[in-house]
Amino acid sequence: MSKKHLPEIMAPAGDKYSYLAGVAAGADAIYVGLKHFSARMQAKNFSISELAQLASLGRDRGTKTYVAMNTLVKPGDPESAGRLIDRLQRTVKPYALIVQDLAMLTLAKQAGFTGELHLSTLANISHPTGLAIAKKLGASRVVIPRELNLDEVKLMADACPKDLDLEIFVHGALCHCVSGRCYWSSYLGGKSGLRGRCVQPCRRLYTQNKQYPERLFSCSDLSLDVLTKPLLSMPKVAAWKIEGRKKGPHYVFYTVKAYQMLRDNPNDAKIKKAAQDLLDQALGRPTSHSTFLPQRPFQPVQPKEQTSSGRLIGEIKRDQKKPFFQPREVLNPGDLIRIGYEDQPGHRTIPIRRRVPKRGRMDIPFSKQQKGPALPTGTKVFLVDRREPELTKLIKGLSNELDLFPAPESKESRFTPTWPKAAARSKTRNRAESINLFRQPPRGRIYDKTAFWLEKATISKVPQSSVIRAQWWLPPVIWPDEDKKYRSLIKEAVKKGAREFVLNAPWQAGYFEDRKNTKLVAGPFCNISNRLALGVLKDLGFSSAIISPELSFEDIEALSQNSPISLGFVIKGLWPFGLARFEAESVKMNETIKSPMHEVSFVRKHGQNNWIYPGWELDMTKEFRKLERLGFKSFVTIKEEWPKDVPRPKRTSEFNLRLNLL
């Protein structure tokens, strides 16, 4: 195979030492985050001056630096985001920016960014037709979802336009919900996964049908290892990405080396075995191939298995009430161990201060922060990062070289965004439109405007006169093997008289080459949250947008000012925690699931996706008049049938309306 077709190995780095480990391993590229606008805000991340030095060292060693600015952009963010891009361009000179929000594409162009623009997996480009829109908006690369199997990756690669390529995750953590379609952490307390603040509620213990608590939504890690060979025949798959910006240098070095071996020696059985041995030592969670093999899919959710990161090296014992453990292997100074799981008493991560021999005694120091009962006997202990002398020496040598690459003087940016022109305000105030969104045609007369999820059965049941007047909603996720289905359904709906379509990803605009008789509305799952993104939608042919209900009232108010297109809002109904393609066999559909905090949820299947719903509705109807005065033109109520086996709630949610969305 030609060298130019070899995919690059992309390493994660959340701090200086992980970056240097990636360089030491010979990574082709390293992706990092800054202190702001990063979807991994729990990682240490980088200042611009620190990153400028590291990127210079990386260039000298032939390693590209990609900067992830892949968060949702709130109404007050574009100015600071643009200034940050401007400073990056002048000091760090990254090879590419990885972005989620449409506004970042505009800001990068306005700031004169000369590198590539990569669309994050959080942007949720999940079907082949969407790739043309990505290219149209200036993207050079699309990071495809982790849920795709090999056949679906091929469908995406075959449809990929010229001058656009694909990036695929080959190793690392799996989220239960589809990237860009998870609101779980945000709905429960304002810490948005789309803003890099996820508290990982999917990793908790849950109970269904009074069974023993299990990790019903916690996924094992992904490891494609030997299955990567078929990807080498797809030149459009230009990068293999390793997840793990919260991981340490040991993980970065071992995984990069392993995937280099698998890429460069796909037919050598001994080298493949050696690569797998390296991955086994990388200290990640238990791994699986997930659903990558279409003929042998494996659901990565195994509720009875532990899915915590690190290698199990012992269990807590007690001697005169003092907790200790005896490690199954030697521990070196600088190694990190984790005690227990995050939802267990006494959970914490501690560094090793002195060498502990195999089967030696390691006493657990008392923690002043520890609350609740003492550390239970039998609690598992995991090794989560290593400091091998050889790797430490390599990193130290590279760290000393950083002095040869002094950081350039960082000057303040004077960048100011150019805003899209505001839509003309109507002189006559028309009453806002109320819209009821159904899955099935309702019984009885409906006085408000109706909307339906676009499905074959619904189109055939709805009378033509109603088809013409109704809105037709496309799903939040369309998978590659559904691409032709929805193209056909849209044609059928238009033929029957449908005119107004709500698209729940901007990329779905690719289905509407002929806009003569159709009106496009951006749905709430587009996660629109700023004026620049609204301007991009307008350029794509959207006439209005139903904004994200995740925003605070302050953000909603700011977004309503000078909008280039008219706005709508989801004001009531069942808003999902998230959508997932993964499914544990033990989860029963439409039955009560309880969290440790007694929060009720349930799961319902629609098509290929599992919708995870809270056991209480969104209700912001108290703010109807305020929102109407702000100029909102339509208000959507999501009508979902309540499961008979789930108790009716006594509460409702205002999402983040009264919070400052983090």
CATH number of the structural domain spanning residue 262: 3.20.20.70
Quick: pLDDT tens for 265-275: 999 999 999 99
Output the pLDDT for position 396.
Answer: 96
- Mark whether 128 and 239 lie in a shared domain: yes
Pairing of strands 336-339, 96-99: unpaired
Output the pLDDT for position 365.
Answer: 83
Q: Angle, to 10 degrees, between the axis of helix 16-25 and the axis of helix 389-401?
A: 100
Average pLDDT for residues 531-551, to the nearest whole number? 96
**CA angle (193 as vertex; 189, 196 as ends), nearest 5:** 110
Answer yes or no: is 144 within a domain: yes
- Mark whether 449 and 508 lie in a shared domain: yes
Quick: pLDDT tens for 305-354: 777 788 889 999 998 778 999 999 999 998 999 998 877 778 889 999 99
Q: How far is CA 146 from the centre of its chain?
A: 10
- Mark whether 144 and 259 lie in a shared domain: yes
HSE-CB of 45 using CA atoms within 13 angstroms: 17
Last residue of a domain, one of 265, 283, 301: 283
Answer yes or no: is 215 within a domain: no
Answer yes or no: is 213 within a domain: no
- Mark whether 354 and 238 lie in a shared domain: no
- Mark whether 257 and 361 lie in a shared domain: no
Answer yes or no: is 360 within a domain: yes
User: Which of 49, 56, 38 is closest to 98 using CA atoms?
Assistant: 38
Output the pLDDT for position 597.
Answer: 86
Burial class (CB in 10 A: 0-12, 13-18, 19+), 365: exposed
337: which residues sit within 8 A by CB, 6+ positions away? 310, 313, 331, 349, 350, 352, 381, 382, 383, 384
- Mark whether 535 and 467 lie in a shared domain: yes
- Mark whether 361 and 509 lie in a shared domain: no
Give me the domain span that covers residue 438.
433-653
Answer yes or no: is 169 within a domain: yes
Given a cut of 60, whether residue 620 has pLDDT beyond it is: yes
Answer yes or no: is 413 within a domain: no
Distance in angstroms (rounded) separating the CA atoms of residues 408 and 587? 55
Given a cut of 60, whether residue 137 has pLDDT beyond it is: yes
Last residue of a domain, one of 363, 385, 407: 385
Distance in angstroms (rounded) separating the CA atoms of residues 345 and 374? 7
Beta-carbon count within 10 A of 228 CB? 22
539 token code pair: 């350029």
Distance in angstroms (rounded) separating the CA atoms of residues 334 and 39? 27
158 token code pair: 């075959």
Average pLDDT for residues 151-177, to the nearest whole number? 97
Q: 2 pLDDT band (50/70/90 cuts)?
A: very low
- Mark whether 137 and 246 lie in a shared domain: yes
Average pLDDT for residues 286-291, to the nearest whole number? 93
Answer yes or no: is 214 within a domain: no
Given a cut of 50, whether residue 655 has pLDDT beyond it is: yes
Q: How far apart are the first and last CA of the chain?
A: 47
What is the domain-level CATH number for residue 365?
2.40.30
Output the pLDDT for position 367.
Answer: 66
What is the DSSP code (8-state) at residue 89?
A: I
**Do 600 and 593 touch, CB atoms closer than 8 A?**
yes
Quick: pLDDT tens for 193-216: 999 999 999 999 999 987 889 999
**Do 327 and 360 touch, CB atoms closer than 8 A?**
yes
Pairing of strands 322-325, 317-319: antiparallel
- Mark whether 122 and 261 lie in a shared domain: yes
- Mark whether 230 and 346 lie in a shared domain: no
Average of per-residue pLDDT values in the chain: 93
Distance in angstroms (rounded) separating the CA atoms of residues 71 and 65? 18
Answer yes or no: is 400 within a domain: no
Torsion of CA 376, 380, 384, 385, to 10 degrees: 80
Output the pLDDT for position 346.
Answer: 81
Distance in angstroms (rounded) separating the CA atoms of residues 133 and 125? 10
Output the pLDDT for position 1.
Answer: 38
- Mark whether 485 and 554 lie in a shared domain: yes
Q: 40 pLDDT band (50/70/90 cuts)?
A: low
Our count of domains for the chain comes to 3
Quick: pLDDT tens for 389-445: 899 999 999 999 999 998 888 788 999 999 999 988 766 667 899 999 999 998 877
What is the domain-level CATH number for residue 492?
3.20.20
- Mark whether 276 and 325 lie in a shared domain: no
User: What one-character-per-residue DSSP string does 427-495 give?
Assistant: SS-PPPEEEEEESSPPSS---SEEEEE--HHHHHHS-HHHHHHSEEEPPS---GGGHHHHHHHHHHHHH
